Each structure stands twice: as C-alpha cells, then as structure tokens.
C-alpha cells in the first residue's frame, strides 16, 4: 500500500533499540570476534540465487540500509569505515548463500523504511522490531528475538531483580523508545512511579548509571549484553538475569513489491539456521539468547 513519507516516519515512534543514539555505546572497535572464517565458509545455493528478482541477480549485490551505531548488532570497526557486528555477519552470510555481495548504506534510522519503499536500498537490517504498524508499509523476515533488558551497576548495589524494583527509582531510557513507553506506563504497586530520565544518547545514559544518578538503564537485550561485557573491560555494568520484557522479533525489512526477494532471504536464512552457521555467528557475538529456530515472514 502506498504511504506518504510522514505516515511512514511515524512508524518509528516505538523503536526496537530506542531512538538511535548519536554516540555509540562503548563502541570498542577493536573488541570484536573474528568471524571471517564462519561467514567465509558459506556457499552459494544456485536454486535460491536463481529465484532472486532479475535486477538484484544481475547487479550481483544486496544493498542493505542500516543505522551503523548499534553494537553488537552493527557498528564500525576500529578503522571507522568497516561495518561489523552480528547483523553484519548474518546479512553477509545471507548474501553469500544467494551469490550476492553486500553493500551497507549507513543512514538515519528514521529514513530506512522510506528509503526501502523508494527503492534506494533492497533490504533493511538495523535491529528493527517487526510490528503490525510497520507491516503496513514493508514486509519482515524475522531473524532474532529481543526485548527490554535492565542494566545496573556492577554488583547490582540497588538489588534490582525485576521491573517492580524500579518503582520510585530514576531510570534512564532512550528518548522516544519502547523502553521509555514501558517505563512510563508500568504500574507500580507501591504507588511510586518509575522516575524516567529520557535522553538521545546511550553514552549519557551510561554516564548517569556509572555515577549513580540513575539506578538502571532500560535497553534492548543485545545492546545491554554488549555494553555490560565491554564497558570498563566488563567492570562497570551487569545485566539483570530475567527474561526480556515485552519480547518481540527483529526483522529484515523488504519492500512489499519484491516478494521474490522476501522468499529468497527467508529461505537463505533458514538454511543458515539449519546448517549451524547462524548459531555460530550469534555465539561469537554473545547474543545467542535471542536465537530463533524457525525463520518467519511477518511473524508467520
């Protein structure tokens, strides 16, 4: 269905990883696993490659729109130019299975859907939640399950074990995010609501937590795990051990006008799940908690 840019942009109000920060959260460009051998072992499936839309097959490349500042999903290596991350590896593996090279285009998160609809990119992969609202504009190949996670100071001095323990405490979130919505809407039995501090900077949120100005940060599972593992060599933060809150799928976005591409990406990704490549990539990036066994389209 044709949608105006304004309507399409409104679909980003609830973002999987929140409003993308202008600064990378603890983006240790040199602190990354060596996954080249895993991705390099993927071989082309001639039948899947033949099923691609003719334009993409002839071009021999897959143009991937992303917002490259969200470790461990996607961020820049130490050279400041090379995209790396769990999503980068996954889409490269999908590309290899389809006989395509992958070309990342770094753009504002809020422009991804409109760029896809306009044909400037072939797919999106940017820790984007597959939601019913977004499905009105594009299709999703679901590849990961995430949700809201609570990150606290190392040692958890505030003794936070779940959402109810946040009541009456200051909590940092990304501005305009699903985490902000959850924190503001959470019903506290004590009567003391969560004191929400919303910023557009993951780095600022981390500084607030380190200095005790907030008791916790709400963030997406993979980002929280990565930051806790890398910030201060793992000595600054930890993730509360509980199931992700309001869990849901991340999806590779595909234009509704290219159903052949949607089908090919789904089948390629399922093949990677079945042969173990998918699991090896997630394990390498320490995000295996979000693995899926069945790759679906629009949750079905």
- Between 124-128, 132-136, 175-179, the lowest mean confidence (pLDDT) is in 175-179
* pTM of the model as a whole: 0.78
Q: Where are the domains of the chain?
A: 5-146+248-297, 148-245
Mean pLDDT, residues 151-163: 97
Query: Does the pLDDT of residue 12 top 70, yes or no?
Result: no
> Tokens 């202008």 appear where?
22
Distance CA 257, CA 254 (A): 8
CA 153 to each of CA 55, 147, 171, 232: distance values in angstroms, whole numbers, following the listed order: 50, 20, 12, 12
Q: What tokens were used for 173?
A: 């979130």
Same fold, 5-146+248-297 and 148-245: yes
Q: Report whether 298 contacts 136 (CB < 8 A).
A: no
Q: Report whether 289 contacts 297 (CB < 8 A).
A: no
* Topology at the third CATH level for domain 148-245: D-Maltodextrin-Binding Protein; domain 2 (3.40.190)
Distance CA 185, CA 38 (A): 42
Task: Report pLDDT for 130.
Answer: 92
Query: Does the pLDDT of residue 9 top 80, yes or no?
Result: no
- Between 107-111, 168-172, 294-298, the lowest mean confidence (pLDDT) is in 107-111
Task: Identify the helix (H) or strand (E) that includes residue 207.
Answer: helix 202-210
> Tokens 């505030």 appear where?
158
The three-state secondary structure class of 43 is coil
Task: Report pLDDT for 109.
Answer: 84
Q: What is the pLDDT of residues 184-240, one digit of tens each?
A: 999 999 889 999 999 888 889 999 999 999 999 999 888 898 899 899 999 999 999
| Region 5-146+248-297: CATH code | 3.40.190.10
> Tokens 């919505």 appear where?
181
Query: Does the pLDDT of residue 96 top 50, yes or no?
Result: yes
């Amino acid at each position: 269905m044709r949608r105006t840019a304004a309507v399409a942009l409104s679909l980003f109000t609830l973002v999987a990883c929140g409003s993308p920060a202008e600064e990378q959260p603890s983006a240790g460009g040199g602190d990354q696993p060596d996954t080249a051998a895993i991705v390099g072992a993927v071989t082309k499936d001639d039948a899947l490659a033949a099923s691609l839309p003719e334009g993409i097959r002839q071009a021999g490349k897959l143009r991937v729109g992303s917002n490259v500042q969200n470790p461990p999903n996607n961020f820049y290596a130490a050279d400041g130019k090379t995209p790396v991350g769990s999503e980068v590896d996954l889409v490269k593996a999908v590309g290899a299975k389809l006989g395509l090279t992958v070309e990342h285009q770094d753009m504002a998160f809020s422009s991804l859907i409109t760029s896809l609809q306009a044909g400037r990119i072939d797919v999106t992969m940017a820790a984007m939640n597959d939601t019913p609202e977004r499905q009105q504009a594009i299709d999703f190949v679901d590849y990961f399950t995430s949700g809201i996670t609570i990150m606290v100071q190392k040692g958890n001095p505030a003794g936070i074990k779940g959402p109810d323990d946040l009541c009456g405490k200051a909590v940092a979130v990304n501005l305009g995010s699903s985490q902000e919505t959850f924190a503001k809407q959470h019903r506290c039995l004590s009567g003391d609501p969560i004191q929400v501090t919303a910023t557009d900077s993951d780095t600022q949120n981390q500084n607030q937590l380190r200095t005790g100005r907030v008791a916790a940060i709400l963030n997406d599972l993979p980002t929280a795990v990565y930051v806790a593992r890398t910030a201060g060599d793992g000595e600054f933060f930890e993730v509360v051990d509980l199931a992700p809150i309001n869990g849901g799928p991340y999806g590779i976005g595909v234009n509704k006008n290219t159903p052949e591409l949607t089908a090919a990406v789904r089948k390629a990704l399922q093949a990677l799940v079945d042969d173990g490549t998918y699991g090896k990539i997630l394990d390498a990036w320490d995000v295996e908690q979000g693995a899926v066994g069945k790759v679906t389209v629009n949750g079905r």
